[in-house]
Structure 1
């Protein structure tokens, strides 16, 4: 099969289109013919091996060379074969899920626990835009943020992959949503259900005087003390990501926020969907919302399989609205 293989850390040019052996599913895995995948910051962080401190951590990307050779954390496609312990799927089933690696290939093996039937009302390309970003937003709001109906939720970075899902999910959970984005995405974010939209080029939301029960921070850009100004007493700051850096960031900003949270009444939580190994329940929750029409993937652009390096380069520049998808 064809796959984009990462032999060493570097720019998108380090992704080399190569013929490799088709994988064989383990007992608890499913072999999927990949029909679509998507690109996200998780992929280019692994491609660059950044921040460097992550290479020293257990389960990190690898100290000198990448441990993960075929990137691609999302996929949608058809089941080709199943391991002997898999009873939920059979060849021909249309599925979507998050292998967390291997999606930049024509075939990928995925644990059955990381897959779900594809939403009936989505194309393969639309379905591939959902898993990692939408599950991140879901865990950040429901599990880490403990969102409840009637609460005030602010989403910083509302026009990106995670942010566009977060706005819709917060609204579906009955919250009042304030969304922060740039000028060109104000109307889009409002159309997703935001009650109020703050254009960060014109206003600093951390100095507006309003307080929120939950802040979901996808974009970063502010120190920990600034978020305290917009959190209600007992409120929660959920950190999903933020601006990258070669050595420490966003790890440094996250550690600072966690330290500050021990000294005040507000909670600070880090959402890490990559370490969640049982995502079928989460995907099924998302499927229900998608098929009910309450959750819609926002796609910035679509690339053919051969243009994966260009798609990664575009995503890395940080200006994508919603998701960047790949047709395999």
Structure 2
């Protein structure tokens, strides 16, 4: 094959295993396949993947849902998946570098957030998207960071415009994004309240929440409390109900919500944005996949990780050969923190 202007002869030495996705459907559509190993272009780094993670992002491309996303530019694809190899989180070791790469060399331990490619033994990453792995994290832990922590950072810092001393509410505090959001909000000096189920309340307190609401026992929208910022990951209440817990000039940031076959969670987010011009509170959407500062964000997160201010929470770890099982478990929606896949 030819990649990055480099001709690579096809042989067993140039092959790798990857989970190829050729059609929308259940996790069984992820077929472990021998394919050509990529060769780095001038500005790319070839990474031997040591760990990746699974998340709702992968689920949407796997299922092709919500169906409205098939019609959107840059979406999941109209008739077949737009990403052939899923896996947005990568932690691994530099195998080779392109001729124009100056910041990395073989043997460096790195991590990155990508559009796809992590469900494979090797992946090529542009140098400007790659960051050194935090020194105090294993590959397994580092693979839990990129997409989830980046989403939490964008939601709080960029869209939420968080300030020290603000009262911040995290709805969906025990998931992959939520566990990072609680820790980041605490690190930014906010007074943090997390919403989760009964079994995760102590965990959320340990991550820095000043208060925890058990959603199985209380409706947070009728608590009478007011917050400066609500980061809504769970999407468990309507926008009109969520407005009741915000101050007059408070901010609502939509991150996710329950998945649906046709429109949700996209429809709920678009409805919130449509309401924004008519209310006093700010409404924003955390679209981390469109962020152009992923490497810079990873470097900022690395500082917080190495300072001990945030740490990944991992629910389960699966071997590479069981990626379909890992995706199926994550799809059930009960994971606390992240679901990670490690090299066999």
Say whether the fold is shared (TM-score over 0.5): yes
Higher Cα Rg: structure 1 or 2? Answer: 2
* Cα deviation digits, residues 182-222 of structure 1 (max 9, x gap): 01100001100000000000001011111100000111011
Pairing of 1:288-299 with structure 2 (within 5 A): 288-299=303-314
SS of the aligned residue for 1:20 comes to strand
Contact 1:76-1:118 within 8 A present in 2 as well:
yes
Structure 1 partner of 2:157:
142
Residue of structure 2 aligned with 1:64, choices 55, 60, 79: 79
> Given the alignment of the two structures, is residue 152 of structure 1 paired with residue 157 of structure 2, yes or no?
no
Using the TM superposition, give the Cα deviation of residue 227 of structure 1 relative to its aligned residue in structure 2, in angstroms.
1.1
How far the C-alpha of 1:303 sits from its partner, in A, is 0.3
The offset of 1:114, in angstroms, is 1.8
- What displacement does 1:60 show? 1.2
**Cα distance between partner residues in 2 of 1:21 and 1:297:** 33
Q: What is the distance in 2 between the residues matched to 1:26 and 1:50?
A: 33
1:137 is paired with a residue whose SS is helix
Please, what is the CA RMSD of the aligned residues? 0.8
State the match for 1:53 in structure 2. 68
Q: Residues of 1 paired with 2:294 and 2:243: CA distance?
A: 32
From 31, 37, 40, give the equivalent of 2:46: 31
TM-score, normalised to structure 1's length? 0.99
Moved more, 19-28 or 42-51: 19-28
For 1:161, the equivalent position in structure 2 comes to 176
2:299 to 263, 278, 284: 284
Which of 298, 307, 311 is equivalent to 2:322? 307
Instruction: Tell me the equivalent position of 1:211.
Output: 226
CA apart distance, 1:83? 2.0
User: Does the 8 Å contact 1:261/1:267 carry over to 2?
Assistant: yes
Structure 1 gaps, min length 5: none
Post-superposition offset of 1:9: 0.2
Q: Secondary structure at 1:103's aligned position in 2?
A: coil
User: Any stretches of 5+ residues in structure 2 without a counterpart?
Assistant: 1-15
**Distance (Å, rounded) in 2 between the aligned partners of 1:29 and 1:233:** 48
Is residue 98 of structure 2 the alignment partner of residue 83 of structure 1? yes
1:154·1:214 contact (CA, 8 Å) conserved in 2? yes
Alpha-carbon contact 1:114-1:277 (below 8 Å) kept: no
Tell me the number of residue pairs that the alignment of Structure 1 and Structure 2 aligns. Answer: 328
- What residue is the counterpart of 2:7 in the other structure? none
User: Is the contact made by 1:36 and 1:76 (CA closer than 8 Å) also made in structure 2?
Assistant: yes
